Amino acid sequence: MRFAYDTSYSDAQQLLRYRSQWFCYGALAMALILAPWLLPAYYVGELSYLFIVCIASLALMVLTGFTGQVSLGHAAFMAIGAYTHTLLLDQGIGFIPSILGAATLTGFVGLIIGLPAIRVSGLYLAMVTLAYAMLTEQIIGRWKDVTGGFTGIPVSPPSLFGYDLSSLKGFYFLCLVILVAVLLGLINLMRGRTGRAFIGVRDSEAAAATLGIWVGGYKVLAFVISAFVTGIAGALLAHHLQFLTPDGFSVMLSMELVLMVVIGGLGSLRGAIFGAVLIGMLPTLISKIKPLLPTSISSQFGLETFVFGLILALFVMFEPNGLNGRWLKLKILFENFPLYRRNTFRRGKTYMHSERYR
Amino acid sequence: MDAQVVQILQLTLNGISIGSIYALVALGIVLTYKATEVLNFAYGDILMMSAFIGWGLIVVAGIPFWPAALITILIAALLGYVLDRHVMRTIVGQPQFAGVMLTIALAFMLRGLVSMGFGPTSRSYPTPWTGHITHIGPIVVTDLNLVILAAALIVTALLFLFLRYTQLGVAIQASSQNQLAAYLCGIRVKRLNSFVWALTAAMAAVAGLLLAPIALVDISLWFVVLKGLAALVLGGFGSIPGAILGGLLIGLIEQFAGVYLPDGAKEMSAQLILIAVLILWPRGLLGEAHGRRV
């Protein structure tokens, strides 16, 4: 067991407090830096995709996990980011201004979509965002002059300060750097005043308002931050896909993002990463396992959908805290090894309480 | 008669007919929501699955339409019961969000199972009314549309009588008002919830069997749940007459938008209505009068 013993304020502010943490995260960083040279090319591309998905998942975690607002329409934010970025690049604008512009526009759309969140919450907000995502998909498909309609448009390769980043390794490091930047930014935002206000709004709007938190403002702010970061992820995804069609940003993608957040464990950024890695790798894993299954099952079309559903159902039923909750339990098991008590995490008995009349 | 008037009448009839399917879907969702406090996102997939089961029974097994429809409805009801008894019941007492996620998970699993079992191709099955046409004055109606309308009316009427005059129906009403109070009055709420799931799944099967002949038996049938949600919101969430009214209106608006509004309006109208109503007028047309936060 470790107990925090702070001798100055800066001790409490450090992200990595113990030597073991420095060691673990250092090893992880080294592994990620060396990975492009050690892994086959296919997996390098897959890892870049995982990083992009992690960014989107982190963005949704801010909204759903920290502020408690369910969005079933985050694919639309990704689509807006991707299309804006592509169109700005085609205008001859540099990579950094273009990606920031795309993120800003997405953030602005997030502001507009977030405004209803002041009035509607819970289930109703989920429905509004779902409808908004389907509308966006339709609009992109029909606005042929700008978006190329359902036939799609090609994405120009990324280049930064004259360096071409379209190679596998170049794109890998581009995604990695942006992921780390987003992660550090969100960690600091979430442990600061804003993040604590978000958590307050999530846990009890009435209590938050009593403490002087501007509930409506913070709800919209969560939408804006989330949309901004999702826009960045969308812009990167555009480069990964290299060709944009509205089908790439369907309801299924929104659902996958929600899946990542729930499976990872609501209310923790680490969970968002865990969930994104698991769900992002799942299609590859399934395609690896397929040859082992009898052909009558493996040749079928809907196996992936079924496995997604099964994993989500098992997590909701048996581990509501997600992968992050499981991780914390494992950590405590190892930290105080012989003294671990199962009851530490026993879920208390709960009673049905209606959420209709709040 | 004027061609314009004929077209309007024609559209109205088509709209009411497709709208009555939306109304059935909305009715099933609202009944589950009121009784069990779970918004059933898997409803469209239960509907889609029953359409596939109906196809299998009619085309593959060669059973005539009526017995096949009856068997499909029974299978769907059993599926609904089992889903609630063995899946939804495990999360009783957890926040509403868990219920949403679990029904989405069920939706994925059903969709995956159907596409594994039947493959991605769309298909159709014959009904006793396929290809028959009735002339009402100058309007030409396919018999199928009339049957859909009649079936929706019958189901709604039966449901009304059931909820109003049987002990079980009154128990469902009590439980939908307050589950704890109903439990304290001796109603077995958990078992009742499973029954409601079975009932609504049977309604989904009826809607699916009616929708499939006009829309093709296809995986994308589950999208009808989104129309159902729009109908619910328009009619006022949690109101049973509102669900029916909302469904009919959405059906009508879609038909007219397809003809009189620019391309794409038909596909988008339901979503636009949902967003607009929730933001501007969250109570809907027939929403409950007492204060409720949405």
Show me where the domains of chain B are located. Answer: 18-219
Residue A127, pLDDT above cutoff 90: no
Percent of chain A with pLDDT over 70: 93
Report pLDDT for B292.
45
Taking contacts as CB-CB distances below 8 angstroms, the residues of chain A near B179 are 352, 354
Q: What average pLDDT does chain A have? A: 85
A305 in contact with B, Cβ within 8 Å = yes
A298 pLDDT band (50/70/90 cuts)? Answer: low
Is B152 within 8 Å of B20 (Cβ atoms)?
Answer: yes
Cβ separation A313–B102 shorter than 8 A? yes
pLDDT in tens, B10-45: 888 888 888 998 999 999 998 888 888 888 889 999
Q: What is the ipTM of this complex?
A: 0.85
CATH of the domain at A125: 1.10.3470
**What's the gap between Cα A140 and its chain centre?**
23
Report the pLDDT averaged over residues A164-191.
Answer: 88
Q: Is residue A2 part of a domain?
A: no
Taking contacts as CB-CB distances below 8 angstroms, the residues of chain B near A127 are 229, 233, 274, 278
Report the pLDDT averaged over residues A235-260.
Answer: 87
Report pLDDT for B269.
83
The C-alpha atoms of residue A215 and residue A197 are separated, in whole angstroms, by 8
pLDDT in 10s for each residue of chain B, 294 residues: 677 888 888 888 888 888 998 999 999 998 888 888 888 889 999 999 999 999 989 888 888 888 899 999 999 999 999 999 988 888 877 777 888 889 999 999 998 888 888 877 778 877 777 777 777 777 777 788 888 888 888 998 998 899 889 999 999 888 888 888 888 988 888 889 999 999 999 999 999 988 888 887 888 888 888 888 888 888 887 778 888 889 999 989 888 888 787 777 777 888 888 888 888 877 777 776 544 443
A352 in contact with B, Cβ within 8 Å = yes
Q: What is the domain range of residue A226?
A: 19-342
Is B47 within 8 Å of B205 (Cβ atoms)?
Answer: yes
Is A215 within 8 Å of A208 (Cβ atoms)?
Answer: yes
Whole-structure pTM value: 0.87
Q: Which residue matches tokens 């442990």?
A: A191
A108 pLDDT band (50/70/90 cuts)? Answer: very high
Q: Is residue A11 part of a domain?
A: no
Taking contacts as CB-CB distances below 8 angstroms, the residues of chain B near A134 are 226, 271
B178 in contact with A, Cβ within 8 Å = yes
If one counts the domains in chain A, the total is 1
Provide the token pair at B102.
């679990």
Q: Which long-range contacts (CB under 8 A, 24 or more apart) does B214-217 make?
A: B214/B18, B214/B144, B214/B145, B214/B148, B216/B122, B216/B123, B216/B124, B217/B51, B217/B52, B217/B54, B217/B55, B217/B122, B217/B123, B217/B124, B217/B125
Report pLDDT for A1.
57
Report the pLDDT averaged over residues A201-216.
Answer: 88
Q: Give A15's contacts (C-beta < 8 A, 6+ positions apart).
A: A184, A187
Cβ separation B87–A305 shorter than 8 A? no
Q: Is residue A86 part of a domain?
A: yes
Report pLDDT for B11.
85
Cβ separation B101–A297 shorter than 8 A? no
Cβ separation B101–A262 shorter than 8 A? yes
The C-alpha atoms of residue B31 and residue A264 are separated, in whole angstroms, by 32
Report pLDDT for B258.
80
Report pLDDT for A225.
94
Helices and strands (H and E) in chain A: how many? 17, 4
Provide the token pair at A85.
């970025």
Cβ separation A302–B180 shorter than 8 A? no
Size of interface A-B (CB pairs under 8 A): 149
The H-or-E segment that residue A115 falls in is: none
The C-alpha atoms of residue B52 and residue B219 are separated, in whole angstroms, by 9
Is A169 within 8 Å of A177 (Cβ atoms)?
Answer: no
Is B246 within 8 Å of B234 (Cβ atoms)?
Answer: yes
Taking contacts as CB-CB distances below 8 angstroms, the residues of chain A near B271 are 131-132, 134-135, 138
Report pLDDT for A78.
93
Is B271 within 8 Å of A134 (Cβ atoms)?
Answer: yes
Report pLDDT for B118.
81
Taking contacts as CB-CB distances below 8 angstroms, the residues of chain B near A352 are 37, 92-93, 179-180
pLDDT in tens, A47-106: 999 999 999 999 999 999 898 888 888 999 999 999 999 999 888 888 888 999 999 999
Q: Is residue A353 part of a domain?
A: no
| Helix, coil or strand: residue A164 | strand
A196 pLDDT band (50/70/90 cuts)? Answer: very high
- Please, what is the Cα angle at A282 between A279 and A283, to 5 degrees? 120
Work out the widest C-alpha separation in chain B, in whole angstroms: 62
* B window 180-219, beta carbon within 8 A of A: 180
